Structure 1
Amino acid sequence: MADDTSRKRKVRGKKITASREQKDGRKAKKQLARTASNAGERNGDSPLSDPETVVPEPFVETDAVRSLRDRINGWLEADQPVHLIGPTGCGKTALALSAAAERGRPVVWLNGDEAVDTAALVGSHAGGERYEENDQFVSGVSKKTEIVRERWVDNPLSVAVREGATLVYNEFSRSDPAAHNVLLSVFEEGVLERPGKHGDDRTIDVHPEFRAILTSNDVEYAGVHEQQDALLDRFIGVHVDYYDDETEREIVAAHVDLSEDEIATIVDTTRALRDDLEIVVGTRAAITAAKGLTVFDGNTENDEDGKFDDETLANVFTDVLAPKIAGENGGDIDDLRSQITETV
């Protein structure tokens, strides 16, 4: 009799243990389901950024800059995606980030290039997660079940539409147009479809605060793809050109410690070269030249008008602009130097 009681107690103990293991297994499954869709945030690589941290430093605000930014934010308030188009080095990216930050919503950054495809926008399966569940209902018999679940990781577009963030898609036109088919339903129907995702959450309803700012170089630039008309028809196109003389001086002054006259000489030279040369001479070139001149002109005497030594000025601008003709047919550094010297 005592033996029976002992056996029953023993069996009951195993059943309790097995029941606990089943419960732990079910709990693990639920935890896995909850965390799989948030894998990016769990790993610390969420693309969401605080709006206060995305504005480039330094960022210059003049009447011209504020007017353009207000125009962008006006269209965003009207729930229209804005496409900033203009020459390289004119400040499109900084302007886009400033406009995004002003909304006060989280910001998601995406940089376009040839490698961007649909998965890079919406997400993809990133390996699997597995665990073992042990069942032991009968003494001496152990049943092990291995459970594997594919782990889906959302990429920038999915995160932005779900969280109501402002998507800043830089160099938009450098990506293959086929990758942008998913944007059509986002802007037209308010739904993002995630190819490759299975189940009820294959689609995401676009958050009402989601907005998009895209930047592109003009179509004549190398590496730029012509995007499909069906998508471009849904954008507001804002052309961004080089800023006025005053704004360019303030931008350069924010990056270097030079006198007003010296900065004026650099900006005037930049704007003259922009008119005289067939290559693009952007505001970025003026900033780079100014940084170089703080070093290379440090031991020379400037005249009273704040102009640098002509030879040094020509050498610095030649170095700054030389990469733009490297590899081109007929690209000749001597010709470039001669043109710059003549302008100077």
Structure 2
Amino acid sequence: MEEPKYFDIDLNESYVETQYIKELTDRVSNYLETGFPVHLRGAAGVGKTALAFHIAQKIGRPIVFMCGSEDFSNLDLIGGYFGTRRSLIVDNYISSVYKRKEEAKKVWTDGRLATACKDGYTVIYDEFTRAKPEVNNVLLSVLEEQMIDIPKYSSENTYLKINPNFRMIFTSNPEEYAGVYKSANALIDRMITIDINDMDINTERLIIAYKSGISEHNARIITNITRYIRNSIKEKNWLSIRGSIMLAKIVKRMDLELNPNNEKFRKVCRDVYNSSSSMLGINALEKEKYNLLIDKAINNAFNI
């Protein structure tokens, strides 16, 4: 059975649309409808992929999701020959005559990009800078000349004209992230890049409350703790809204009282926030200072 190439996912009920998100969504939607691909660039956990799905859902076409990686190849994008189809014809209608004809043909399977280009789907290419630059070169003609070279078509003309309903949204992390390739200028020049930085405090609070099920009051406290820590450390990218949502879900599951005198709450905060900072490779002394910062952030959230 052939693997489905697109996913018609309904995300409307699981996405918080504040004024900040609505304005950003409207801008990106207009760029896409004008015919330009959009590149959402930002730190891990800032919400790029969720926003891309939200925008794609509003377009109303089937969504093709691709995730860049070191192993990503043109086979994933364009397609290739996979397997062989054999046919056998035996003609013995006249008993004295026996004919046998056997044929074998390679079977072509379109890649996800080729399918989207042909049928006018919306492509979300997540973390596209994790794929090798030479793999992404096929996108140059797609974004500029509106055509794609597919070898399965006749040897004289291998180009497929792209469906006018085709749309493409890219996401990426900053280039200093591990495992990320520098994107080619020729490709970047063909898209509109929007830097997704920290969202406004109201959006962050509402997302935390919605994703975890805690009250907006408690979500505000967690938001303030996270923002205080984020604004106090050098590597701000490592402390995303994911950590806040994680903390909020644990608070709800354990039915913790958000109180500066609740030592259990403080310990949970240290566990969650240290999970983010562990990527920085901090030593014991630095970790002790970081825990003091977490305690200070908790006190600040309760105006102590």
TM-score (norm. length: structure 2): 0.88
Q: Distance in 2 between matches of 1:290 and 1:259?
A: 10
String of CA shifts for 1:45-94, please: whole Å, max 9, x gaps.
232233xx242752101100000000100111111000001111111111
8 Å CA contact 1:117, 1:178 repeated in 2: no
Q: Distance in 2 between matches of 1:73 and 1:245?
A: 24
3-state DSSP of counterpart to 2:14: coil
Q: Residues 309, 205 of structure 1: CA spacing in aligned structure 2 closer, same or farther, 3 A cutoff? A: farther
Q: CA deviation at 1:283?
A: 1.2
- 1:220 corresponds to which residue? 176
3-state DSSP of counterpart to 1:108: strand
3-state DSSP of counterpart to 1:64: helix
- 1:318 corresponds to which residue? 270
Q: Distance in 1 between matches of 2:83 and 2:108?
A: 8
| 1:199 matched to 2:151 | no
Q: CA deviation at 1:326?
A: 4.1
- 1:67 corresponds to which residue? 23
8 Å CA contact 2:260, 2:266 repeated in 1: no
Q: Residues 325, 91 of structure 1: CA spacing in aligned structure 2 closer, same or farther, 3 A cutoff? A: same
% identity of equivalent residues:
33
| 1:88 matched to 2:40 | no
8 Å CA contact 2:239, 2:277 repeated in 1: no
Q: CA deviation at 1:129?
A: 1.2
String of CA shifts for 1:161-210, please: whole Å, max 9, x gaps.
1111111111111111111111011111111013x535257322111111
Q: Distance in 2 between matches of 1:54 and 1:271?
A: 31
8 Å CA contact 1:162, 1:205 repeated in 2: yes
3-state DSSP of counterpart to 2:57: helix
Q: Residues 82, 178 of structure 1: CA spacing in aligned structure 2 closer, same or farther, 3 A cutoff? A: same
Q: Residues 319, 143 of structure 1: CA spacing in aligned structure 2 closer, same or farther, 3 A cutoff? A: farther
Runs (5+) with no aligned partner, structure 1? 1-42
- 1:343 corresponds to which residue? 297
- 1:294 corresponds to which residue? 252
| 1:45 matched to 2:3 | yes
TM-score (norm. length: structure 1): 0.78
Q: Distance in 2 between matches of 1:145 and 1:331?
A: 73
Query: Cα RMSD over matched residues?
Result: 2.2
Q: Residues 253, 143 of structure 1: CA spacing in aligned structure 2 closer, same or farther, 3 A cutoff? A: same
- 2:301 corresponds to which residue? none
Indicate the structure (1 or 2) with the bigger Cα radius of gyration. Answer: 1
1:215-254 residue pairs with structure 2 within 5 A?
215-254=171-210
Q: Distance in 2 between matches of 1:257 and 1:97?
A: 22
- 1:167 corresponds to which residue? 123
3-state DSSP of counterpart to 1:197: coil
Q: Residues 91, 330 of structure 1: CA spacing in aligned structure 2 closer, same or farther, 3 A cutoff? A: closer
Runs (5+) with no aligned partner, structure 2? 299-304
Q: Distance in 2 between matches of 1:179 and 1:331?
A: 39
